[in-house]
Amino acid sequence: MGSGKRSLTTAAMVLACACAVLSAPGVAYASPTPGSTPTPTRTPTPSGSAGGAAAQDPQAIRKKKDLQAIRRKLDDLYHDAAVATDAYNAAEEKARRQSAQIVDLAQDIVKGQEKLDRLKDLAGAAARAQYRGGGLPPEAQLWLSRNPQEYLDGAGRVRQGQHATKGLLAEMARTQQDLEQYAKDASAQWQKLEANREAKAEAQKKIKKQIAAAEKLESQLQKEEKERLAKLEEEAAYKAQTAWLGSGVLTELNGKASVQGKKAVKYATDQIGKPYVWGAEGPKSFDCSGLTSQAWLSAGHGIPRTSQEQWKQLPHVDVKDMRPGDLIIYFDDASHVAMYIGDGAIVHAPRPGRTVTVAGAGSMPILGVVRPDA
């Protein structure tokens, strides 16, 4: 990673150490110097945890348990919204492709009809020429001809014309069949388009429902409770990141970003601070896969739109082999994706209500890593 980007990551990590962690999920590691092994920062003692007087207060313990339950409920709601967002994005992508295919088929139908009209005109001209010959058999026309040699020369041209007419009729039949097939294909694509529009609308309803439920739950909390809830989220992310770093994984990471990978990382980190909006692909807002797909598109390499398709279609690499620019897929259902930027950090669009941010790569359950430019 370049010195400018390393400075950005280092600054984020210094901020993480000063504040314990970034906003959940947050960066939770010490700032490494080039060539050194990053050391996890000391896990902060949670407010009201063992060792403090508040830990002995049953009411404080109960409140913390209640907030933990709320945190898990919020995680579930936003996770379901993320899954629905992936379904929405997939349906949107399919609808775009099907719309383009329908347009192409419509153009093929127009061209085919124009071709058929020209063939009909040619066939009509051939029929009129045959009519002018009186429809008599060749022997009779030879008998009645005043100039037999002239007739024989003309007969050769007639035979050529007859062969051409047969080819013309065959071409008309093929063109007619093509037109019928185009019409069938267009009808099938239209039905698929309608089905995907329905799927998209259903996913949209679910997204709004899940986000509304999460926002309603959060709105019922007092300011103090929201602050404690934020600390619980930070602690959970910090604990996961510390455990990930404790596995020694970072000591094995020494991959250098490719030229395209550097461009993708720059694009993604340039979006830090922009809001998460489901279904968004920039430039003012992003969802998680909208950020990663646009980052790689800016690097000149198109990738699938959704996190699940990115997981399915892109080449997989071991976590120990990942390098800046690689994409980390999270959760068993591949419902979240982030971009690895080096030094144990990622940049991602977390969820509704949050902005594009730097976080610890191990702050969420990792499903695997994919490399767009493998």
Residues serving a catalytic function are 288, 336, 348
Are the CB atoms for 346 and 9 separated by under 8 Å? Answer: no
- Give the number of residues written for the chain: 374
Closest CA to 277 of 267, 288, 266, 261: 288
Are the CB atoms for 117 and 172 separated by under 8 Å? Answer: no
**Beta sheet of 327-330, edge-to-edge order:** 316-317, 366-370, 327-330, 336-342, 345-348, 357-360
Count Cβ atoms below 10 Å from residue 30 Cβ, excluding itself.
18
Are the CB atoms for 91 and 196 separated by under 8 Å? Answer: yes
Closest CA to 326 of 266, 268, 257, 259: 257
DSSP single-letter state for residue 156: H
Asked, as a colleague might, if the bond just before 25 is cis with ω within 30 of 0, I would say yes
Q: For residue 334, give every residue at least 6 positions away whose Cβ sits within 8 Å of its Cβ, in sequence order, or none.
A: 86, 307, 308, 310, 311, 312, 367
